[in-house]
């Protein structure tokens, strides 16, 4: 074992690998900071560049892009209110209000530290618990998956904002949007109206960009007086104090560890990933907080939960990949492909046959986390300058980026039309105070829910199996508890409001 660790370290700690990792982290941060560009896109674009590298250097570079990307998504979420990647949706809830009240440096610094600790914790869990966790994750059947989605859907109760019914409607709208296009099991087209535009369904990323970016950008230019004065996004003086942010992050150790563990577990479940983990971690943090009413107003706990939760999925996703050869997400599948290109067989024997590569990957996770921290802390002052740029420049530039992002996703012009339509719809919903996050959650969870419900009933049409299989029952019980707690919290809030007159 020691020999394998030393061999892995030797392959990792050399100048070319360190340099390509540094470039990878920086590229990941920048790519994910641009709305419309996902971590998956960045990884896919990196893949051909790694073909000529030694195996560990290639994988380490891609891991660097991966980890940099999870942090980069936070930048536009905090500064523009537009999640740079799907895994940064919950970051907008608190980091953006914090930035808007004149503390963008604090929001970013807290996010960077939370991301770093999330990566660190997930790397430790990856090393210690990869085999047992992977075995649990892959034993989940369709029943358990469906129950897990039901549990995840109860997050809606925390994201609904002022009106529960409008939030629930938004969540259901997301589920409905996900049903457009080919049916996941039979391939029958649904609700396409024979339009080429809808024949391939409505891609999740197009919904995310349209709902958050277009509506947010239009809201930015609503006030002609501000625009006339050439106002920047954030008018106040910007400060950046990483050490005080570190203090704030470590002051919430339970929140940090819990959110990271949520991220690891969700990352380890094939098909889930960072887009769910950040919302689930945020929800759990809000429920566990002594001041849940502060969530959504720019509180540090919310930023810590979302960022540590999404960054921890990077280590979690590697658990089934390394232990069993099953990729947990699209990004993990690309990582797997890069190993296979170099003739490294993926599967349960990976750690036995290529121990040096696996230990090298473990070390690369820590190293990439540290590099991300350094790159972000050094470059954040530069990113913060975005807040000084007038809206007249930011708005058209980001809109162009959104259009490019929507197109490059599938190289389909029709996705641009969908972006416009969804953007307008999102703007109307935002003007009428419908919360947008439940809609996005619905689009993410819809296909997983439908596929697993139908698959479960195809395997055995006995509905009671959802309640008799222990893990499924536990997840459903958690969902019920979650709903009860949410209702109790809302009633308590209402009573407090009534008492205050």
In the complex with other proteins, the residue whose CB is nearer, 136 or 227, is 227
Kindly tell me which residue out of 185, 235, 484, 491 binds other proteins, with binding defined by CB under 8 A.
Answer: 185
Q: Based on CB atoms, which residue is closest to other proteins, 179 or 239?
A: 179
Give helix 355-384 / helix 300-324 axis angle, nearest 10°.
Answer: 160
Region near other proteins per CB under 8 A, out of 17-25, 212-220, 286-294, 380-388: 212-220
Q: Which is nearer to other proteins, 13 or 191 (CB)?
A: 191
Among 33, 150, 175, 256, binds other proteins (CB under 8 A): 175
Does position 165 interact with other proteins (CB under 8 A)? The reply is yes
Nearest-approach distance from CB 191 to other proteins, in angstroms: 6
Asked if 413 interacts with other proteins (CB under 8 A), we say yes
What is the C-alpha separation between 134 and 104, in angstroms, rounded? 38
Rule CB under 8 A: is residue 141 a binding residue for other proteins?
no
The residues pairing with 189 across neighbouring beta strands, listed in sequence order, are 182
Q: Measure the CA–CA gap between 345 and 365, rounded to whole angstroms.
A: 20
Q: Which is nearer to other proteins, 319 or 448 (CB)?
A: 448
Q: How far is the CB of 82 from other proteins (least distance, A)?
A: 15
Q: What are the φ/ψ torsions at residue 270 (nearest 5 degrees)? A: -55, 130
- CB of 224 or CB of 343, closer to other proteins: 224
Query: Residue 227 or 246: which CB sits closer to other proteins?
Result: 227
Phi/psi region, residue 326 (left: phi>0; alpha: psi -120 to 50; beta: rest), is beta
Q: How far apart are CA 87 and CA 71, in angstroms?
A: 9
E strand segments, 180-244: 181-182, 189-190
Q: Which stretch binds other proteins (CB under 8 A): 95-103, 113-121, 310-318, 404-412?
A: 404-412
Given the complex with other proteins, which of 404 and 485 has the nearer CB atom?
Answer: 404
| d(C-alpha 276, C-alpha 396), whole Å | 30
Residues 43-72 that bind other proteins (CB under 8 A): 45
Torsion of CA 247, 122, 147, 294, to 10 degrees: 10
Applying CB under 8 A, the span of 262-270, 368-376, 387-395, 474-482 interacting with other proteins comes to: 387-395
Q: Which of 101, 287, 342, 391 contacts other proteins by CB under 8 A?
A: 391
Is residue 217 within 8 Å of residue 392, measured between CB atoms?
no
Sites for other proteins among residues 416-435 (CB under 8 A): 416-417, 419-420, 423-424, 427-428, 431-433
User: x/- site string to other proteins, residues 431 to 470, per CB under 8 A?
Assistant: xxx---------------xx--xx--xx--x---------
Question: Cβ of residue 292: shortest distance to other proteins, in angstroms?
Answer: 24
What minimum distance in Å lies between the beta carbon of 33 and other proteins? Answer: 15
Q: How far apart are the first and last CA of the chain?
A: 67
Closer to other proteins by CB, 216 or 306: give it: 216
230 binds other proteins per the rule CB under 8 A: yes
CA distance 310 to 135: 22
Q: Which residue has the tokens 């370290």?
A: 9
φ, ψ of residue 200 to 5 degrees: the values are -95, 10
DSSP structural state of residue 213: I
Q: Which residues contact 154 (CB under 8 A, 6 or more apart)?
A: 479, 482, 483, 486
Q: Which two tokens stand for residue 184?
A: 């996941």
- What is the Cα–Cα distance from 399 to 297, expressed in whole angstroms? 26
Number of residues forming the site for other proteins (CB under 8 A): 59
- Can you tell me which of 5, 18, 138, 221 binds other proteins, judged by CB under 8 A? 221
* Among 399, 443, 444, 476, contact with other proteins (rule: CB under 8 A): 399
Smaller CB separation from other proteins, 101 or 412: 412
Closest CA to 392 of 273, 259, 231, 215: 231
User: Could you say whether residue 219 binds other proteins (CB under 8 A)?
Assistant: yes
Given the complex with other proteins, which of 230 and 253 has the nearer CB atom? 230
- 450-456 long-range CB contacts below 8 Å, 24 or more apart? 450/178, 450/179, 450/184, 451/142, 451/184, 451/185, 452/142, 452/143, 452/145, 452/146, 452/149, 453/142, 453/146, 454/184, 454/185, 455/142, 455/185, 456/141, 456/142, 456/143, 456/146
- From CA 99, how far away is CA 93, in angstroms rounded? 11
Q: Decide if residue 487 touches other proteins (CB under 8 A).
A: no
Any contact of residue 400 with other proteins (CB under 8 A)?
yes
What gap in Å lies between CA 114 and CA 253, rounded to an integer?
10
Nearer to other proteins among residue 236 and residue 462 (C-beta)? 462
What is the closest distance, in whole angstroms, from the C-beta atom of residue 23 to other proteins in the complex?
13
Dmax over CA atoms of the chain, in Å, equals 70
Which residue in 404, 473, 478, 485 binds other proteins (CB under 8 A)? Answer: 404
Q: Which residues contact 58 (CB under 8 A, 6 or more apart)?
A: 50, 51, 338, 341, 342
Closest separation in Å from C-beta 86 to other proteins: 20
Minimum distance, C-beta of residue 94 to other proteins, in the bound complex (Å): 25
- Residues within the interface to other proteins (CB under 8 A): 45, 165-166, 168-169, 172-173, 175-176, 179, 183, 185-186, 188, 190-191, 214, 217-219, 221-222, 224, 227-228, 230, 390-393, 395-397, 399-400, 403-404, 407-408, 411, 413, 416-417, 419-420, 423-424, 427-428, 431-433, 449-450, 453-454, 457-458, 461
């Amino acid at each position: 074992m020691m020999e394998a660790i030393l061999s892995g370290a030797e392959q990792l700690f050399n100048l070319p690998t360190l340099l390509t990792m540094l470039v990878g982290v920086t590229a990941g941060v920048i790519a994910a900071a641009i709305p419309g560009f996902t971590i998956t896109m960045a990884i896919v674009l990196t893949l051909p560049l790694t073909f000529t590298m030694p195996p560990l250097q290639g994988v380490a570079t891609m891991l660097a892009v991966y980890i940099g990307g999870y942090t980069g998504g936070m930048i536009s979420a905090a500064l523009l209110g537009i999640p740079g990647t799907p895994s940064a949706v919950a970051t907008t809830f608190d980091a953006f209000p914090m930035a808007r009240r004149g503390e963008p440096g604090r929001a970013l610094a807290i996010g960077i530290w939370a991301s770093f600790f999330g990566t660190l914790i997930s790397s430790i869990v990856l090393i210690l618990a990869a085999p047992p966790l992977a075995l649990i994750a892959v034993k989940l059947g369709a029943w358990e998956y469906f129950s897990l989605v039901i549990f995840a859907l109860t997050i809606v109760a925390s994201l609904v904002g002022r009106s529960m019914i409008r939030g629930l409607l938004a969540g259901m709208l997301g589920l409905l949007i996900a049903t457009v296009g080919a049916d996941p099991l039979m391939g029958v087209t649904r609700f396409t109206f024979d339009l080429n535009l809808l024949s391939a369904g409505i891609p999740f990323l197009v919904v995310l960009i349209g709902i958050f970016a277009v509506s947010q950008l239009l809201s930015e230019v609503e006030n002609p007086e501000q625009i006339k004065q050439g106002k920047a996004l954030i008018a106040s003086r910007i400060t950046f104090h990483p050490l005080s942010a570190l203090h704030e992050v470590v002051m919430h150790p339970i929140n940090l560890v819990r959110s990271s563990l949520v991220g690891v577990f969700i990352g380890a479940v094939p098909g889930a990933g960072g887009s769910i983990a950040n919302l689930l971690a945020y929800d759990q943090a809000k429920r566990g907080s002594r001041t849940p009413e502060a969530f959504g107003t720019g509180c540090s706990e919310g930023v810590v939960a979302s960022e540590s939760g999404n960054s921890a999925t990077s280590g979690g996703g590697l658990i089934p990949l390394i232990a069993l050869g099953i990729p947990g997400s699209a990004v993990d599948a690309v990582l797997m492909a890069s190993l296979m290109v170099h003739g490294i067989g993926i599967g349960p024997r990976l750690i036995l046959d290529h121990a040096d590569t696996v230990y090298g990957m473990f070390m690369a996770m820590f190293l990439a986390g540290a590099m991300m921290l350094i790159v972000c802390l050094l470059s954040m002052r530069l990113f913060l300058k975005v807040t000084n740029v007038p809206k007249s420049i930011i708005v058209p530039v980001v809109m162009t980026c959104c259009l490019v992002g929507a197109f490059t996703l599938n190289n389909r012009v029709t996705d641009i039309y969908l972006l416009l339509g969804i953007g307008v719809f999102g703007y109307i919903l935002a003007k009428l105070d419908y919360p947008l996050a439940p809609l996005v959650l619905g689009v993410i969870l819809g296909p997983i829910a439908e596929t697993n419900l139908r698959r479960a009933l195809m395997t055995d049409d006995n509905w009671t199996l959802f309640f008799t299989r222990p893990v499924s029952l536990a997840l459903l019980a958690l969902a019920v508890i979650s709903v009860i707690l949410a209702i109790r919290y809302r009633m308590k809030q209402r009573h407090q409001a009534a008492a205050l007159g």
